[in-house]
Amino acid sequence: MNWKSAGAFDDILFHQAEGIARIAINRPEVRNAFRPQTVRELMDAFHQAHMDSSVGAIILTGAGDQAFCSGGDQKVRGDDGGYHDEQGVPYLNVLDLQRQIRGLPKPVVAMVAGYAIGGGHVLHLICDLTIAADNARFGQTGPRVGSFDAGFGAGLLARTVGIKKAKEIWFLCRQYDAEEALAMGLINAVVPLAELENETVKWCKEMLQLSPTALRVLKASFNADTDGLAGIQELAGNATALYYMTPEGQEGRNAWLEKRAPDFGKFPRRP
Ligand SMILES: CC(C)(COP(=O)(O)OP(=O)(O)OC[C@H]1O[C@@H](n2cnc3c(N)ncnc32)[C@H](O)[C@@H]1OP(=O)(O)O)[C@@H](O)C(=O)NCCC(=O)NCCSC(=O)CCC(=O)c1ccccc1C(=O)O
Protein backbone atom coordinates (compact mmCIF):
# COMPACT_ATOMS: atom_id res chain seq x y z
CA MET A 1 0.00 0.00 0.00
CA ASN A 2 1.20 3.45 -0.82
CA TRP A 3 0.19 5.03 2.50
CA LYS A 4 0.05 8.83 2.49
CA SER A 5 0.16 10.93 5.63
CA ALA A 6 -3.27 12.25 6.57
CA GLY A 7 -2.14 14.52 9.38
CA ALA A 8 0.77 15.24 11.72
CA PHE A 9 0.44 14.15 15.36
CA ASP A 10 2.85 13.51 18.25
CA ASP A 11 1.56 10.21 19.67
CA ILE A 12 -0.05 8.60 16.65
CA LEU A 13 0.54 8.03 12.95
CA PHE A 14 -2.33 8.67 10.55
CA HIS A 15 -2.24 7.50 6.95
CA GLN A 16 -4.68 6.82 4.16
CA ALA A 17 -4.64 4.90 0.88
CA GLU A 18 -7.20 3.38 -1.47
CA GLY A 19 -10.21 4.16 0.72
CA ILE A 20 -8.59 2.85 3.92
CA ALA A 21 -7.46 4.96 6.89
CA ARG A 22 -4.65 3.56 9.04
CA ILE A 23 -4.31 4.90 12.57
CA ALA A 24 -1.36 3.70 14.68
CA ILE A 25 -0.51 4.46 18.29
CA ASN A 26 3.13 5.51 18.04
CA ARG A 27 4.66 5.08 21.49
CA PRO A 28 6.56 1.80 21.03
CA GLU A 29 8.97 2.68 23.86
CA VAL A 30 6.07 2.09 26.30
CA ARG A 31 4.48 -0.74 24.29
CA ASN A 32 2.05 1.81 22.82
CA ALA A 33 0.47 2.70 26.16
CA PHE A 34 -1.90 5.64 25.79
CA ARG A 35 -1.83 8.89 27.72
CA PRO A 36 -4.60 11.54 27.50
CA GLN A 37 -2.85 13.24 24.57
CA THR A 38 -2.71 9.92 22.69
CA VAL A 39 -6.42 9.43 23.15
CA ARG A 40 -7.20 13.01 22.07
CA GLU A 41 -5.16 12.49 18.89
CA LEU A 42 -6.81 9.14 18.22
CA MET A 43 -10.21 10.81 18.55
CA ASP A 44 -9.17 13.56 16.10
CA ALA A 45 -7.96 11.02 13.54
CA PHE A 46 -11.06 8.83 13.92
CA HIS A 47 -13.23 11.94 13.49
CA GLN A 48 -11.38 12.84 10.27
CA ALA A 49 -11.76 9.31 8.95
CA HIS A 50 -15.45 9.36 9.92
CA MET A 51 -16.15 12.60 8.04
CA ASP A 52 -14.06 11.73 4.95
CA SER A 53 -16.40 10.13 2.44
CA SER A 54 -13.46 8.61 0.54
CA VAL A 55 -12.72 6.40 3.57
CA GLY A 56 -14.67 3.14 3.79
CA ALA A 57 -12.70 1.17 6.38
CA ILE A 58 -10.36 2.07 9.22
CA ILE A 59 -7.42 0.11 10.65
CA LEU A 60 -6.36 0.69 14.26
CA THR A 61 -2.92 -0.62 15.12
CA GLY A 62 0.25 0.02 17.11
CA ALA A 63 3.65 1.07 15.79
CA GLY A 64 6.25 -1.69 15.67
CA ASP A 65 5.65 -5.39 16.13
CA GLN A 66 5.90 -5.69 19.92
CA ALA A 67 2.57 -4.21 20.92
CA PHE A 68 -0.81 -3.14 19.64
CA CYS A 69 -1.39 -1.28 22.92
CA SER A 70 -0.54 -1.91 26.58
CA GLY A 71 -3.40 0.18 27.95
CA GLY A 72 -3.33 3.34 30.04
CA ASP A 73 0.13 4.81 30.64
CA GLN A 74 0.66 3.89 34.28
CA LYS A 75 3.40 6.51 34.59
CA VAL A 76 0.88 9.37 34.25
CA ARG A 77 -1.88 7.70 36.26
CA GLY A 78 -2.56 9.94 39.24
CA ASP A 79 -4.12 9.37 42.64
CA ASP A 80 -7.03 11.62 41.78
CA GLY A 81 -9.20 9.51 39.50
CA GLY A 82 -7.52 9.60 36.13
CA TYR A 83 -4.54 9.92 33.85
CA HIS A 84 -2.88 13.35 33.85
CA ASP A 85 -2.66 15.44 30.71
CA GLU A 86 0.02 18.08 30.10
CA GLN A 87 -1.86 20.52 32.35
CA GLY A 88 -2.12 17.94 35.11
CA VAL A 89 -5.87 17.49 34.65
CA PRO A 90 -6.90 13.92 35.56
CA TYR A 91 -9.39 12.12 33.34
CA LEU A 92 -10.38 8.82 31.74
CA ASN A 93 -10.86 9.87 28.14
CA VAL A 94 -10.34 6.41 26.66
CA LEU A 95 -13.99 5.73 27.47
CA ASP A 96 -14.96 8.51 25.02
CA LEU A 97 -12.76 6.86 22.39
CA GLN A 98 -14.44 3.49 22.97
CA ARG A 99 -17.87 5.01 22.30
CA GLN A 100 -16.56 6.90 19.28
CA ILE A 101 -15.22 3.72 17.63
CA ARG A 102 -18.49 1.89 18.27
CA GLY A 103 -20.61 4.77 16.97
CA LEU A 104 -18.47 5.35 13.88
CA PRO A 105 -20.56 4.10 10.93
CA LYS A 106 -17.67 2.43 9.10
CA PRO A 107 -15.94 -0.86 9.88
CA VAL A 108 -12.95 -0.49 12.23
CA VAL A 109 -10.42 -3.33 12.14
CA ALA A 110 -7.85 -3.89 14.90
CA MET A 111 -4.54 -5.05 13.44
CA VAL A 112 -2.70 -6.63 16.36
CA ALA A 113 0.98 -7.51 16.54
CA GLY A 114 2.39 -8.24 19.99
CA TYR A 115 0.57 -7.28 23.16
CA ALA A 116 -3.05 -6.15 23.35
CA ILE A 117 -3.21 -5.81 27.11
CA GLY A 118 -5.34 -3.99 29.69
CA GLY A 119 -7.07 -0.96 28.17
CA GLY A 120 -5.31 -1.92 24.92
CA HIS A 121 -7.14 -5.22 24.98
CA VAL A 122 -10.44 -3.38 25.39
CA LEU A 123 -9.58 -1.23 22.38
CA HIS A 124 -9.20 -4.26 20.09
CA LEU A 125 -12.40 -5.70 21.57
CA ILE A 126 -14.29 -2.51 20.71
CA CYS A 127 -13.15 -2.70 17.08
CA ASP A 128 -15.49 -4.52 14.69
CA LEU A 129 -12.93 -7.11 13.59
CA THR A 130 -9.49 -8.16 14.81
CA ILE A 131 -6.72 -9.61 12.65
CA ALA A 132 -3.77 -10.80 14.70
CA ALA A 133 -0.19 -11.73 13.98
CA ASP A 134 1.07 -15.04 15.31
CA ASN A 135 3.08 -13.14 17.97
CA ALA A 136 -0.03 -11.47 19.42
CA ARG A 137 -0.86 -11.83 23.11
CA PHE A 138 -4.14 -10.84 24.69
CA GLY A 139 -5.28 -10.24 28.25
CA GLN A 140 -6.56 -7.99 31.00
CA THR A 141 -4.37 -6.86 33.89
CA GLY A 142 -6.73 -4.60 35.84
CA PRO A 143 -7.03 -6.59 39.08
CA ARG A 144 -3.23 -6.88 39.14
CA VAL A 145 -2.47 -3.19 38.57
CA GLY A 146 -5.40 -1.69 40.45
CA SER A 147 -7.83 -0.96 37.62
CA PHE A 148 -10.89 -2.42 35.90
CA ASP A 149 -13.16 -1.69 32.96
CA ALA A 150 -16.62 -2.64 34.13
CA GLY A 151 -18.23 -1.17 30.99
CA PHE A 152 -17.60 -2.56 27.52
CA GLY A 153 -14.43 -4.19 28.85
CA ALA A 154 -16.51 -6.61 30.88
CA GLY A 155 -19.95 -6.69 29.20
CA LEU A 156 -18.85 -6.74 25.58
CA LEU A 157 -16.13 -9.28 26.39
CA ALA A 158 -18.78 -11.56 27.91
CA ARG A 159 -20.93 -11.24 24.79
CA THR A 160 -17.89 -11.99 22.63
CA VAL A 161 -16.35 -15.01 24.38
CA GLY A 162 -19.09 -16.06 26.82
CA ILE A 163 -19.46 -15.14 30.47
CA LYS A 164 -17.34 -17.94 31.97
CA LYS A 165 -14.39 -17.14 29.71
CA ALA A 166 -14.79 -13.38 30.27
CA LYS A 167 -14.69 -13.91 34.03
CA GLU A 168 -11.61 -16.11 33.65
CA ILE A 169 -9.88 -13.39 31.61
CA TRP A 170 -10.62 -10.70 34.21
CA PHE A 171 -10.36 -12.79 37.40
CA LEU A 172 -7.05 -14.52 36.58
CA CYS A 173 -5.28 -11.87 34.45
CA ARG A 174 -3.66 -14.52 32.27
CA GLN A 175 -2.29 -13.91 28.80
CA TYR A 176 -3.59 -15.80 25.76
CA ASP A 177 -1.76 -16.36 22.50
CA ALA A 178 -3.28 -15.69 19.09
CA GLU A 179 -4.44 -19.28 18.48
CA GLU A 180 -6.16 -19.38 21.89
CA ALA A 181 -7.81 -16.04 21.15
CA LEU A 182 -9.03 -17.35 17.80
CA ALA A 183 -10.41 -20.50 19.40
CA MET A 184 -12.45 -18.48 21.91
CA GLY A 185 -13.90 -16.16 19.22
CA LEU A 186 -12.01 -13.11 20.50
CA ILE A 187 -10.39 -12.41 17.12
CA ASN A 188 -11.17 -13.16 13.48
CA ALA A 189 -7.90 -14.46 12.00
CA VAL A 190 -4.27 -15.23 12.79
CA VAL A 191 -1.54 -14.79 10.21
CA PRO A 192 2.27 -14.79 10.26
CA LEU A 193 3.59 -11.41 11.42
CA ALA A 194 5.08 -10.67 7.98
CA GLU A 195 1.63 -11.00 6.40
CA LEU A 196 -0.34 -9.03 8.98
CA GLU A 197 -0.78 -5.80 7.07
CA ASN A 198 -1.47 -7.47 3.71
CA GLU A 199 -4.10 -9.68 5.26
CA THR A 200 -5.74 -6.79 7.13
CA VAL A 201 -5.82 -4.65 3.99
CA LYS A 202 -7.30 -7.60 2.10
CA TRP A 203 -10.18 -7.81 4.58
CA CYS A 204 -10.70 -4.04 4.32
CA LYS A 205 -10.73 -4.18 0.52
CA GLU A 206 -13.30 -6.95 0.60
CA MET A 207 -15.54 -4.74 2.73
CA LEU A 208 -14.96 -1.79 0.39
CA GLN A 209 -16.63 -3.84 -2.37
CA LEU A 210 -19.83 -4.10 -0.33
CA SER A 211 -22.72 -1.70 0.24
CA PRO A 212 -21.60 1.04 2.68
CA THR A 213 -25.19 1.58 3.82
CA ALA A 214 -25.69 -2.11 4.54
CA LEU A 215 -22.45 -2.26 6.56
CA ARG A 216 -23.38 0.96 8.38
CA VAL A 217 -26.83 -0.25 9.41
CA LEU A 218 -25.52 -3.70 10.35
CA LYS A 219 -22.87 -2.13 12.59
CA ALA A 220 -25.57 0.00 14.25
CA SER A 221 -27.77 -3.08 14.67
CA PHE A 222 -25.03 -4.99 16.49
CA ASN A 223 -24.63 -1.96 18.79
CA ALA A 224 -28.39 -1.67 19.28
CA ASP A 225 -28.41 -5.22 20.57
CA THR A 226 -25.97 -4.29 23.34
CA ASP A 227 -26.31 -0.55 23.94
CA GLY A 228 -29.94 -0.16 24.96
CA LEU A 229 -31.65 3.09 24.02
CA ALA A 230 -28.36 4.68 22.92
CA GLY A 231 -27.90 1.80 20.48
CA ILE A 232 -31.46 2.07 19.23
CA GLN A 233 -30.94 5.82 18.75
CA GLU A 234 -27.93 5.07 16.52
CA LEU A 235 -29.87 2.51 14.50
CA ALA A 236 -32.88 4.82 14.28
CA GLY A 237 -30.68 7.68 13.03
CA ASN A 238 -29.91 5.53 9.99
CA ALA A 239 -33.63 5.01 9.37
CA THR A 240 -34.20 8.78 9.56
CA ALA A 241 -31.32 9.46 7.14
CA LEU A 242 -32.74 6.93 4.65
CA TYR A 243 -36.26 8.41 5.06
CA TYR A 244 -34.86 11.90 4.29
CA MET A 245 -33.70 10.49 0.95
CA THR A 246 -37.23 9.45 -0.08
CA PRO A 247 -39.78 11.60 -1.97
CA GLU A 248 -42.19 10.92 0.91
CA GLY A 249 -39.85 12.45 3.49
CA GLN A 250 -39.03 15.31 1.14
CA GLU A 251 -42.75 16.06 0.60
CA GLY A 252 -43.07 16.93 4.30
CA ARG A 253 -40.14 19.33 4.16
CA ASN A 254 -41.19 20.84 0.81
CA ALA A 255 -44.78 21.42 1.96
CA TRP A 256 -43.56 23.21 5.08
CA LEU A 257 -41.15 25.38 3.08
CA GLU A 258 -43.88 26.17 0.52
CA LYS A 259 -46.41 26.94 3.29
CA ARG A 260 -48.93 24.36 2.01
CA ALA A 261 -50.51 21.20 3.40
CA PRO A 262 -48.39 18.09 2.70
CA ASP A 263 -49.84 15.62 0.17
CA PHE A 264 -48.85 12.25 1.64
CA GLY A 265 -51.83 10.60 -0.15
CA LYS A 266 -49.72 10.01 -3.24
CA PHE A 267 -47.40 7.63 -1.37
CA PRO A 268 -48.34 3.95 -1.14
CA ARG A 269 -49.07 2.31 2.20
CA ARG A 270 -46.87 -0.68 1.52
CA PRO A 271 -47.78 -4.07 2.98
C1 LIG B 1 2.76 -5.06 27.85
C2 LIG B 1 3.78 -5.88 28.63
C3 LIG B 1 3.24 -7.28 28.86
C4 LIG B 1 5.05 -5.95 27.76
O5 LIG B 1 6.07 -6.64 28.44
P6 LIG B 1 7.56 -6.55 27.89
O7 LIG B 1 7.58 -6.80 26.41
O8 LIG B 1 8.38 -7.44 28.75
O9 LIG B 1 8.00 -5.04 28.05
P10 LIG B 1 8.29 -4.22 29.38
O11 LIG B 1 9.74 -4.25 29.65
O12 LIG B 1 7.38 -4.60 30.47
O13 LIG B 1 7.87 -2.77 28.88
C14 LIG B 1 8.68 -2.01 28.01
C15 LIG B 1 8.61 -0.58 28.46
O16 LIG B 1 7.26 -0.14 28.30
C17 LIG B 1 6.76 0.36 29.53
N18 LIG B 1 5.33 0.08 29.62
C19 LIG B 1 4.70 -1.03 29.23
N20 LIG B 1 3.39 -0.93 29.46
C21 LIG B 1 3.18 0.29 30.00
C22 LIG B 1 2.04 0.99 30.48
N23 LIG B 1 0.78 0.45 30.37
N24 LIG B 1 2.20 2.19 30.99
C25 LIG B 1 3.43 2.77 31.05
N26 LIG B 1 4.55 2.16 30.61
C27 LIG B 1 4.43 0.94 30.11
C28 LIG B 1 7.56 -0.38 30.59
O29 LIG B 1 7.54 0.33 31.80
C30 LIG B 1 8.94 -0.41 29.95
O31 LIG B 1 9.57 0.84 30.06
P32 LIG B 1 10.77 1.04 31.12
O33 LIG B 1 11.22 2.43 30.89
O34 LIG B 1 11.78 -0.01 30.76
O35 LIG B 1 10.15 0.84 32.48
C36 LIG B 1 4.12 -5.24 29.98
O37 LIG B 1 4.85 -4.06 29.73
C38 LIG B 1 2.94 -4.91 30.80
O39 LIG B 1 2.36 -5.78 31.44
N40 LIG B 1 2.56 -3.64 30.80
C41 LIG B 1 1.51 -3.13 31.66
C42 LIG B 1 0.14 -3.51 31.15
C43 LIG B 1 -0.92 -2.90 32.02
O44 LIG B 1 -1.11 -3.31 33.12
N45 LIG B 1 -1.60 -1.87 31.51
C46 LIG B 1 -2.53 -1.05 32.23
C47 LIG B 1 -3.83 -1.74 32.43
S48 LIG B 1 -5.02 -0.67 33.20
C49 LIG B 1 -5.57 0.22 31.87
O50 LIG B 1 -5.17 0.05 30.78
C51 LIG B 1 -6.61 1.24 32.18
C52 LIG B 1 -7.44 1.53 30.95
C53 LIG B 1 -8.25 2.70 31.06
O54 LIG B 1 -7.74 3.72 30.72
C55 LIG B 1 -9.64 2.62 31.60
C56 LIG B 1 -10.50 1.65 31.25
C57 LIG B 1 -11.78 1.61 31.80
C58 LIG B 1 -12.17 2.52 32.72
C59 LIG B 1 -11.29 3.52 33.06
C60 LIG B 1 -10.04 3.55 32.45
C61 LIG B 1 -9.10 4.58 32.77
O62 LIG B 1 -8.95 5.50 31.92
O63 LIG B 1 -8.42 4.40 33.80
Which residues have any ligand 1 atom within 6 Å of their CB? 30-31, 33, 66-67, 70-75, 83, 92, 94-95, 115, 117-119, 141-142, 145, 147, 149, 153
Q: Is 155 annotated as a binding residue?
A: no
Backbone angles phi, psi at 41, to 5 degrees: -70, -40
Backbone angles phi, psi at 50, to 5 degrees: -60, -50
CATH 1.10.645.10 fits 212-259, yes or no: no
Give ipTM to 2 decimals.
Answer: 0.96
Show Cβ contacts of residue 77 under 8 Å, excluding neighbours closer than 6 positions: 83, 84
What residues does CATH 1.10.12.10 cover in the chain?
Answer: 212-259
Model pLDDT for residues 97-141, shown as the tens digit of each residue: 999 999 999 999 999 999 999 999 999 999 999 999 999 999 999
Q: Which residue from 26, 27, 31 has its CB within 8 A of the most atoms of ligand 1, so it is best to mutate?
A: 31
Residues of the chain within CATH 3.90.226.10 domain(s) are 4-208
d(CA 271, CA 257): 30
pLDDT digits (tens, 9 = 90+) for 68-104: 999 999 998 888 888 888 888 888 799 999 999 999 9
For 206-216, the pLDDT digits (tens) are 999 999 999 99
Superfamily in which the 4-208 domain is placed by CATH: 2-enoyl-CoA Hydratase; Chain A, domain 1 (3.90.226.10)
Is 30:82 a contact under the CB 8 Å cutoff?
no
